[in-house]
Amino acid sequence: MRVRYGQRRIHVLLQREGWRVNLKRVSRLYRLEGLSLRAKAPKRRRRSCTARRVRTAAGAPNHVWSMDFMHDRLAGDHHRPFRLLTIVDIFTRECLALEVATGFRARNVVHVLSRLVARRGAPIAIRCDQGTEFTAEALDQWAYNNRIELDFSRPGKPTDNAFIEAFNASVRKELLNTSWFDTLEGVRRAARAWRREYNEVRPHRSLANKTPQAFAETAIAAT
């Protein structure tokens, strides 16, 4: 489950467990064991000159969510495709949902969101792309009834929803690319375990190496 953790994240976990070891020693052992991860060369990006309206800021837990779909295939069963619905809280970086199914329709997305709202309360806005499941009338009506703004990314601009793109990259590297899944239920079990690990164990650099759950608890206590 942690084969894609880098040396800095491993160092944080060792310190959390009481090991008195500095980052230089962890880095040296990391290299000696041949564990260094190959970093991708950064792509050059052109800046868009298109003006964009002011977006709803994520100023506290549960203010703004972000959601997207991912795609993969099973190893057996004639490489049957499946999809993952990913939903995160932008402020706390918590993974709110990591749902697995062979396919999703707008009503399935509404069902997942309704379950989250019943448990956590409604956000002010949800960021998403302009996929058919997100632009459907069923989701639009649900958002209107719950007074939630649907903040759509511009076509061809994945950076408009950068938080979910970064999260999906972690799901790809640490969950989907590390295992072969023969059944849909196997994917679901692994997704539940990974989501729990991500929220409760995995240190997050942008949260001062706290876990999303610990950061959320601190933020809520401070309000």
Structural domain boundaries in the chain: 1-38, 64-222
Confidence (pLDDT) at 206? 87
Segment of 19-28, 56-65, 111-120, 206-215 carrying the highest mean pLDDT: 111-120
- The Cα 56–Cα 184 span in angstroms is 36
| pLDDT tops 50 at residue 48 | no
Task: Please answer whether residues 149 and 143 qualify as being in contact, where contact means their C-beta atoms are separated by less than 8 angstroms.
Answer: yes
Helix/strand/coil (H/E/C) assignment for every residue in 32-99? HCCCCCCCCCCCCCCCCCCCCCCCCCCCCCCCEEEEEEEEEECCCCCCCEEEEEEEEECCCCCEEEEE
- Looking at residue 67, what is its pLDDT? 97
Instruction: With a cut of 90, say whether residue 79 has pLDDT above it.
Output: no
Mean pLDDT, rounded, for 120-145? 95
Average pLDDT score over residue span 72-95: 92
DSSP 100: E
- 156-195 residue pLDDT tens: 887 888 999 999 999 999 999 988 899 999 999 999 999 9
Task: Please determine, looking at this structure, whether the domain spanning 64-222 carries the CATH number 3.30.420.10.
Answer: yes
Find, among 80, 95, 56, 49, the residue nearest to 181 by Cα: 80
In one-letter notation, the amino acid at residue 167 is: F
Token pair of 57, please?
């800021």
Q: What mean pLDDT, rounded, does the chain reach? A: 85
Which is more confident, 35 or 171?
171
What is the pLDDT averaged over residues 60-64? Answer: 95
With cut-offs at 50, 70 and 90, classify the pLDDT of residue 58.
confident
Q: With contact defined as beta carbons under 8 Å apart, do 72 and 175 qualify?
A: no
What is d(CA 8, CA 205) in angstroms, rounded to the nearest whole number? 9
